[in-house]
Each structure stands twice: as C-alpha cells, then as structure tokens.
C-alpha cells in the first residue's frame, strides 16, 4: 500500500486542455471503439495490472492478457475471481472497459466498485456498478448503488437497460468521485449524478476506498429474484477488463486522516462543470434506459430521500419504483452488504 498522503499536481497538459475538453459534446458511443468520457480523452493513462492492482481471490480464475493490460475474470463451479487496487483512495476517477460473458449468464454477477467494507464493517462506504446476468435471449442489466456510512438500507439504487449488447464489445464504465459530487459514466455519457447535500450527511461516501472488480455467483437473487440460477454447463463465465484507470488521491492506509494535502485535484472542476450537452445526454439516457429508481419507490420510501427530485420523470415509474412496461418482478433482502433491491 502506498504511504503517500498527497496527490500529484495536475499536469500542465491537462490544465491547458481542460476548458476545451469539458465543453466537448457527449454522445453515447455507438459502434466502433468504446471511448472514455470526453473530459478524459488523451489525458488519463490506463495502466497494466501490476502497476496498480493485486489479485483478491480466485486462484487460476484470474488471467492476464496483452502484457497485463487486459484481465480475464472467470467464474466456475469451484470459485469466482476478483482483483483490487493496491492503494486506498480518497476521491478520484476510476474506470475500466468491460466485456461481459455472452450466452446464458443467469445468476452471474460482475461488479466494478469502490468500497471500504474491509476496514469499516458496519459503517462502510460503497459506489457500485453491478452487472446482472440473464437467461439466453434476455439482456444483462446494470445497477448503480451509492452507500455511505453503512447506509445499505438506503442504498440509493438505480437500474438501467443498456442501449447496446455489453457482451458484444468493450464499453467503458467510470466513476468520478469528489468531495462534492459523484458521477457515473457509461462510455461518453454521464448517466447519474449525486450531489452532496447537508441533509445526506454521512450517507455521502466520504472515507477512503479501494477499487474492486469481481465475478461471482448471485443465483439466490440476481436473475428474477433467484428464479433462474447459474448453470455451470455454460461455465466458465468470463468477464474481460481493459483500459484500467486509477486517478485519485492515494492515502496512508494506517492513518486515513492524513489526506488534507490533496488540495483541489483536476477532477474537481471536471465534476463541477458538466456542459449543457452532457446534461441533455444524461437526461435522455435516464428517460430512455432507467428501469428502477429509488426516488420513485414509495414502498421503500414513503417519503422520498432528501436529494430526490420527485418532479423528474414521475409518470414513468410505478409506486414500487419500477418503470411502467418493464419487468416488475423483484425481491428484497438477503444480500449482505450489497444492494437490497433485486429485480
């Protein structure tokens, strides 16, 4: 683990390009090579596995390809697999290009997330992309979760139907986390923004976290509440990761408080300056692709949480938070510290 308590200063190249890059028009990538969010083109450097990561579990089910710049995570009857960042970070930009297992993938869960559950068992923070497999002929779904200070009971979950086949090619999934806001990206499109408010308090993730990527068996809940389970006749299930990016403030793993010297890193103004075009793209994605919204789930939250704009998209969702016309089967509970909304 790194013992540094400060972040490197923004590069001159980034300072020069930032005003132009932030103003770039953002559209969802369709076809061709998946691209990182527009403010980061040509600025953020991807790394080889050994430069910033370590194997978490899975023995031989983790394999490195292309000189360590691509990671294959496999799930078979014996085990899943996963890796984690070597450092803890307080804020930053975290990204990977991911290609999900094809064919029958019911019960399979692939996750790309930040967490500190190993250090804070009951008060952990977490930011997730969770990919939930499905039966043949039905699409994978992706869910984002925001947990702060152990708030898994109010996990602020959202779920989306992707407008592309995530098993056909690589697509970038990115988390930009600052002291004031969190932005989730799919390829070049910001799909979700969480702005810190006074009312959220410690429910806004604010403690150092590690970055994780895993594949595991979630048969008990992941596909239609456990109706369809992992079928190991189709194993191994392999998720591929590339374009690995860790851009953040590494902190001392012993004294987590020694982080004030990070100052104002480059990603703070990027997060605060979403353009009108980016916001329009985000609005279009949410209107067209979001299939569950915790802000509209009156069964879990008779009174919406403080940050929710209940005037946004109210006619699209039922009282259970599910989008009208979608698959409305769901189950709650039984997932440990992971999301408690399952559909």
How high is the pLDDT of residue 242? 95
How high is the pLDDT of residue 110? 98
Could you report the per-residue pLDDT of 168-196, keeping only the tens digit for each? 999 999 999 998 999 999 998 999 999 99
Could you report the per-residue pLDDT of 139-151, keeping only the tens digit for each? 999 999 999 998 7
Could you report the per-residue pLDDT of 289-333, keeping only the tens digit for each? 999 999 999 999 999 998 898 787 778 999 999 998 865 444 333
Q: Which residues are catalytic?
A: 126, 130
Is pLDDT at 118 greater than 60 in this prediction?
Answer: yes
Could you report the per-residue pLDDT of 20-29, keeping only the tens digit for each? 333 332 333 3
Domains of the chain plus CATH, in order, are 12-342 (2.60.120.200)
What CA–CA distances, in Å, run from 143 to 61, 146, 162?
24, 10, 10
CB–CB of 63/72 below 8 Å? Answer: yes
Which one is predicted more confidently, 1 or 94?
A: 94
pLDDT band at 155 (very low <50, low <70, confident <90, very high): confident
Is pLDDT at 78 greater than 70 in this prediction?
Answer: yes
Could you report the per-residue pLDDT of 88-102, keeping only the tens digit for each? 999 999 999 999 999
Single pTM value for the model: 0.84
Evaluated on CA atoms 162, 53, 75, 220, the torsion sign reads negative
Which one is predicted more confidently, 65 or 333?
A: 65
């Amino acid at each position: 683990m790194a013992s540094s308590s400060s972040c490197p200063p923004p590069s001159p190249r980034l300072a020069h390009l930032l005003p132009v890059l932030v103003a770039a028009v953002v559209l969802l990538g369709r076809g061709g090579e998946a691209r990182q969010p527009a403010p980061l083109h040509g600025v953020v450097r991807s790394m080889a596995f050994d430069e910033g990561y370590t194997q978490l579990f899975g023995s031989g089910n983790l394999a490195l390809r292309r000189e360590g710049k691509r990671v294959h995570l496999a799930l078979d009857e014996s085990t899943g697999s996963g890796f984690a960042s070597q450092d803890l970070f307080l804020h930053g930009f975290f990204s990977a290009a991911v290609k999900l297992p094809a064919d029958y993938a019911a019960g399979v869960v692939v996750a790309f997330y930040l967490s500190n559950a190993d250090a804070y068992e009951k008060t952990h923070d977490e930011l997730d992309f969770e990919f939930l497999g499905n039966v043949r002929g039905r699409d994978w779904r992706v869910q984002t979760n925001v947990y702060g200070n152990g708030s898994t009971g109010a996990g602020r979950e959202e779920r989306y139907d992707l407008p592309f086949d995530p098993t056909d090619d690589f697509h970038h999934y990115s988390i930009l986390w600052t002291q004031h806001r969190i932005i989730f990206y799919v390829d070049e499109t910001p799909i979700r923004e969480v702005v810190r408010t006074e009312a959220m308090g410690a429910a806004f993730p604010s403690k150092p976290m590690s970055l994780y990527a895993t594949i595991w068996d979630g048969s008990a809940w992941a596909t239609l509440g456990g109706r369809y389970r992992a079928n190991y006749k189709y194993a191994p299930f392999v998720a591929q990761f590339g374009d690995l990016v860790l851009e953040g403030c590494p902190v001392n793993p012993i004294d987590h408080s020694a982080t004030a010297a990070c100052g104002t890193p480059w990603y703070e103004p990027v997060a605060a300056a979403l353009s009108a075009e980016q916001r329009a793209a985000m609005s279009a994605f949410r209107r067209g692709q979001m299939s569950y919204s915790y802000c509209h789930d009156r069964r879990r939250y008779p009174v919406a949480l403080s940050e929710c704009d209940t005037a946004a998209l109210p006619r699209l969702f039922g009282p259970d938070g599910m989008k009208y016309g979608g698959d409305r089967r769901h189950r709650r509970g039984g997932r440990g510290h992971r999301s408690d909304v399952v559909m």
